[in-house]
Each structure stands twice: as C-alpha cells, then as structure tokens.
Structure 1
Amino acid sequence: MSIAFLYAGQGSQHAGMGKDLYESYPEFREVYEGIELPFDLRRLSFEDPEGLIHETKYTQPALVAFACGVTAILRGMGFRADYAAGLSLGEYSALSYAGSIDARTAVQLAAFRGDAMQRASQGIACGMSAVLGLSEEKLSEACERASEKGLVSICNYNCPGQLVIGGESEAVEEAGRIALELGAKRVIPLKVSGPFHTALMKSAGDALSEYFKKIHFKTPECTVLYNFLGRERREGDPEIPELLIEQVQKPVRMESILRELLGRGVRSFYEIGPGRTLSGFVKKTAKAMEIEEIEITSLETAEEIEALRERMRG
C-alpha cells in the first residue's frame, strides 16, 4: 500500500507544540539545535511567553521546524512515504522530507517567507473567509461581482465543498455576502494576518525570487505534489523555485493533490503537524470519490509516534 506524508500549514500552530518530542527524541532536538534564527525558536515553540507564535514571521519557521523534527524521527524509525505534499507552508516541509532541501534550509526559508509575507500584508485592510457548499463557478462569480470593492479571489481549493477567498477586507465581505445569496451554506471569516495566496502577495513573491538565487534545490527523492500545480512536476513545468514563488501569490490546489493521490491508489495518509485539518480534507475528498477504505494517522505527539512504532513492530 502506497503511503503519503501530508504536512500541515499555517493556522495549526499552538504554544507547546513539539515540547514532548524535544524531550523524548534526539533526532527532533538535533533539528532545533542546528538552526540559527534571530529569536529563540525553542522558547517560542514550547512556551511562547510573548504570544508571538501566531505572527506569520514566527509561525512559519516554528511549524517547519516541528515538521522537520517529526520527519527526522520517522527517518530514524525507518518509516518512509512514497509521496509528499503540504498545505501552503507545508510544501517546504514536504520538500525537506524528499531531500530537495535540508531541514536547516527549510526552516530558514520559512523564516524569510514568513517575514516577507508579513511585510507584504502591512498597510492592507485584508481578510480571508472559508466558503462552504458553493461551486467554484459560483464563487468566482461572487468574487467578480465584489471586485468593485477591491481585490478578492479564490485562494484555496481545500476539498469538496470548501473553498477559501482572500483579498481586501471590504471585497472579501462583499463576496461572502454574494456567495450566500448564490447558495453557499456558510461563510466563515478566518483569523489571518494577510491576504495569502492572492495577487496582494506579489512583493513577497518578488522577495522569494531574489532569495532563491542562493538556494540549491536537489531533485526530490520521492514524488512531491505542488500547491500551484495540484500535482507533481512534469517535463516543461516551472522549476521548484518558480513553483514556490507562484505558490505564495496564487491559489493552493489541495483538493487536486488529494484527488491525484487517491487516484494513484494511495490509501494510507500521515498528517504531520499540529491539528487535524488535512485529515478532514482527505476524508471529504475520498467520500466525494466514493472511496471508503482509507487510513489516516496524525503524528503530532510522542504518544502518537510510539503508537506508530508499535504498529511497525506488529
């Protein structure tokens, strides 16, 4: 049975994440001890006394360090996946698992990306909302009709029945109102600090373009599926840096990634990171494809890691 590692994105972070893993696994500790940042990553992740973990420039390196630490534990156990993908920021963790970049580089990239995205958001009255139960076509219509209020577009295709819009706050609110008129079941404003995966992130994309000039991405050792493409890279597609530049300012196509994995026969998914968001996406996508027998495992705590170890022994 083919296995896929799915790496969580921004929004799943919380103070204390990874503390039990840091205390229990030398592989996890090694990731944190090998990273140089202008702040104490361990203190931020495990204690967060200043309440900074939800600020984008801190959130992103904290989540990638956590994910790379878990990946290091899994490697030490001899546990491997055939496919890797991540939600937005999680794509950096997926590339690290695949050997395209090492853990230190992935975390430093995430720190730069988070800072660039936070700076791109400054001075913009922005918002994002999850829209439930409305088709892509109708939501696109809602965004187009609301565009007189400002920039708004679909920025996440998460799973069947769940899309996300983002942009300037007045336009996002208007698009949400129109979406309800067009039949959406619910419109849920999200607590975010920027209009991520929209054209308003162009300056962040430009900053990444410059930064990537000094980063070497190796050919991935397993199949990685990319947010911008909604699938793996093929001949003629942009190179990895270009995909990451596009990703920050274009929609995330997670549903397409999950459909591709399920269509290839993947039935065993491991969500790496805090929360269970991606597990929910997998379940909804499998249901829409009328696939019943899937196995989803969350890997966030030492207890969950040890449960996996016992399964491997069995």
Structure 2
Amino acid sequence: MGKTAFLFPGQGAQYVGMGRDFYENMAVCRQVMDLAGQMAGLDVKKICFEEKEKIHITEYTQIAMVAVEAAILKALEEEGIFPEAAGGLSLGEYGAVLAAGVMSLEDVFSLVRKRGIYMQEAVPFGGAMAAVLGLSGKQVEDICEAEPGMVSVANYNCPGQVVITGASQAVEEATEKLKKAGARRVLPLQVSGPFHSPMLAEAEEKLRSALQEIKVQKPGIPYTANVTAQYVREAGEVKELLARQVSAPVRWQQCVDTLLSDGVETFVEVGPGKTLTGFVRKIDKNARVLQVQTIEDFQNLVNIWKER
C-alpha cells in the first residue's frame, strides 16, 4: 500500500462554525483551541463559531484556521493516525509543520498570530488577487512580467488554475490581457491583501525576525515547502522557508507532484473545506483523497485506518 500524506488548507477555506463539532465533542480539541486562544490573546473559538466578519480578516483568520487544523490533527494522533508525509497550502504549511513535529503548539500559535498581524499591516489596502482559469503557468508568468505595474504569480494551484497578486490597478490590467490571451475566466478573490507578492516584503522581514525566537526540531516526517516544492528534512531549512513563503509564490501543484513521486497514494485534507481535494484530483485523477473537517469525516477515517 502506498504512503499517506496529510494536507492542510490555507486562508480562504474558513467559514463560521468550522471546528465546532470537534470542540464540543472531543476534549483534546477543546484543549488545543483553548491553547490557541491563550497564545493569541483572543477568543479563538468565538472567532471560529460566531464572528461573521472577523473570521475573514487576515489577522484573525490565520490563527482561527490553524487552531482548527491543529485540533483535528491532535485528535487524529490520539487515535494513532499518523501520515508518512505532509504539506500545506500557504498558511496551511504551519499545519504541516505541526504534523512533522517541527515546532510546539505554543510556538506555532504565537507565530501564526504574528504572521496574520504582519500581513494585515503590510498592505492594508491597495492590493488584489485573482484566479486565472484555462492558461498555463508559463502563459500567466509571461503576461505578468510584461505588465509595467506590480503583478506576479501568487499560486500554482493545479493544471489550468493559477492565481495572480499585486497592486490593484496592475492586477486589473493584467486581467484584461489574460482574457485576451485565452483565459477561460479570471475571478477576483475576496482577500484583504496581495498575498505572496513582493508587496509583502515588510511582513516577510518581521516574520523572519519573529522566527529567530522559535525553537525548531528536525522533521519527524518530510513535508513540502511552498517556496521550493521540495521536502523539508532538516531543522536548519525551516525558518528561512517559512519567512520567504509570505512574499514568494506558492508552488502547490509542484508540492503535490513531489508527494506523488515519493509514493504517496492517499491524501487526507485536514481542516475546513475541500479546496485541496479538488486540486489533488486535477493533478492526479487516480489519487485517493479523503477529508476530515467534521466528526463524521473523522470517524470515517478512523474506520478506514483500522482496516488498513
């Protein structure tokens, strides 16, 4: 049987009520989410369960998402369910870091809270992102590079889906050129900043400084870095890759290719939504993909694991 990898979604997959059934029914999940709140100085469970506006504001979204992902991860670990590899899209890379045992829960929650604030402060207004459907990464890169304004590729999600990021005007102008070049659709994203853009350089530097205070360990399992799409296997690689990730493109399709080439056959999306499930299926239609975002999903995976 092939390997199993845990995948962790990023910002954009959040929704009001995420993680609630875990919090109400599993002691370990309550402990993890309450710890996230203590480390962040916020009522994280209220943001997850009730805050219709805050949950979509970067500085709150990030800690809320990682709290839910960490809670589900620890519940899976309690059942003896561990992956052979991991990966996470953008913010989700912190879930992969936890799955690999690289940092403590306390340090991850503290760091993610700072990351959200730094990213929110770096470009509070004037930035935009858009998903480009139906063109190759190379086609999108060429159009962005020819655009005089600040616009670049933010995400290589899957075949035929690339995200662009940058200054609002430049993204609008690139959008028109991409449509003329044959893009099936170009969809503006509801985000609060131009993430994974050089415009986030200030946030990158602040995060790099914060990372210096964090203790990291050698990964217990390999996980993919968004920046390189390669496995992180050594403690010395962790901090710089997490810092660079803020302003560098997310090479998600290439991350999944790395996992596939390592013999991963089953992918488990841990956390809110099914975004990564969709991406994996477009990258490799033969891959087995499961989700764990509800108690029912959780029990289903436990049953599947027992039958391995």
With structure 1 as the length reference, what TM-score do the two structures score? 0.93
Deviation at 1:38, TM superposition (A): 2.5
Residue aligning to 1:42: 45
Q: Distance in 1 between matches of 2:232 and 2:303?
A: 35
Deviation at 1:221, TM superposition (A): 0.3
Deviation at 1:234, TM superposition (A): 6.5
Indicate whether 1:9 and 2:10 are aligned. yes
Deviation at 1:104, TM superposition (A): 2.2
Do the aligned partners of 1:142 and 1:176 also contact (CA within 8 Å) in 2?
Answer: no
Q: Distance in 2 between matches of 1:77 and 1:137?
A: 43
Distance 1:129 1:238, change over 3 A: farther
Do the aligned partners of 1:116 and 1:204 also contact (CA within 8 Å) in 2?
Answer: yes
Aligned-pair identity in percent equals 40
Q: Distance in 1 between matches of 2:89 and 2:115?
A: 15
Do the aligned partners of 2:218 and 2:233 also contact (CA within 8 Å) in 1?
Answer: no
Deviation at 1:233, TM superposition (A): 3.2
SS of the residue aligned with 1:271?
strand
Indicate whether 1:214 and 2:213 are aligned. yes
Superposition CA RMSD, Å: 1.5
Q: Distance in 2 between matches of 1:234 and 1:202?
A: 26
* 2:100 aligned residue (79, 98, 101): 98
Do the aligned partners of 1:127 and 1:172 also contact (CA within 8 Å) in 2?
Answer: yes
Residue aligning to 1:72: 74
Residue aligning to 1:273: 271
Q: Distance in 1 between matches of 2:164 and 2:269?
A: 24
Q: Distance in 2 between matches of 1:182 and 1:32?
A: 46
How does 1:1-314 map onto structure 2 within 5 Å? 1-35=2-36, 36=38, 37-48=40-51, 51-122=53-124, 124-147=125-148, 150-233=149-232, 239-287=237-285, 292=286, 294-314=287-307
Between Structure 1 and Structure 2, how many residues are aligned? 304
Q: Distance in 1 between matches of 2:295 and 2:261?
A: 32
Do the aligned partners of 1:146 and 1:172 also contact (CA within 8 Å) in 2?
Answer: no
SS of the residue aligned with 2:51?
coil
Q: Distance in 2 between matches of 1:213 and 1:239?
A: 13
Deviation at 1:39, TM superposition (A): 1.8
Deviation at 1:27, TM superposition (A): 1.1
Deviation at 1:120, TM superposition (A): 0.5
SS of the residue aligned with 1:173?
helix
Q: Distance in 1 between matches of 2:25 and 2:206?
A: 37
Do the aligned partners of 2:101 and 2:219 also contact (CA within 8 Å) in 1?
Answer: yes
Deviation at 1:182, TM superposition (A): 1.1
Q: Which deviations, in whole Å up to 9, do the C-alpha atoms of 1:108-151 show, x marking residues without a partner? A: 211100000000012x411100011112222122112322xx20
What residue ranges of structure 1 are gaps of 5+ in the alignment? Answer: none
Do the aligned partners of 2:204 and 2:246 also contact (CA within 8 Å) in 1?
Answer: yes
Q: Distance in 1 between matches of 2:267 and 2:129?
A: 28
Q: Distance in 1 between matches of 2:229 and 2:163?
A: 16
Q: Distance in 2 between matches of 1:145 and 1:312?
A: 50
Do the aligned partners of 1:65 and 1:103 also contact (CA within 8 Å) in 2?
Answer: no
Runs of 4+ residues deviating >6 angstroms: none
SS of the residue aligned with 2:61?
helix
What residue ranges of structure 2 are gaps of 5+ in the alignment? Answer: none
Deviation at 1:211, TM superposition (A): 0.7
Q: Distance in 2 between matches of 1:234 and 1:305?
A: 28
Q: Distance in 1 between matches of 2:85 and 2:305?
A: 19
Q: Distance in 2 between matches of 1:29 and 1:39?
A: 15
Do the aligned partners of 1:31 and 1:104 also contact (CA within 8 Å) in 2?
Answer: no
Distance 1:168 1:311, change over 3 A: same
Q: Distance in 2 between matches of 1:205 and 1:238?
A: 18
Q: Which deviations, in whole Å up to 9, do the C-alpha atoms of 1:231-262 show, x marking residues without a partner? A: 11378x97211101110010000000111111
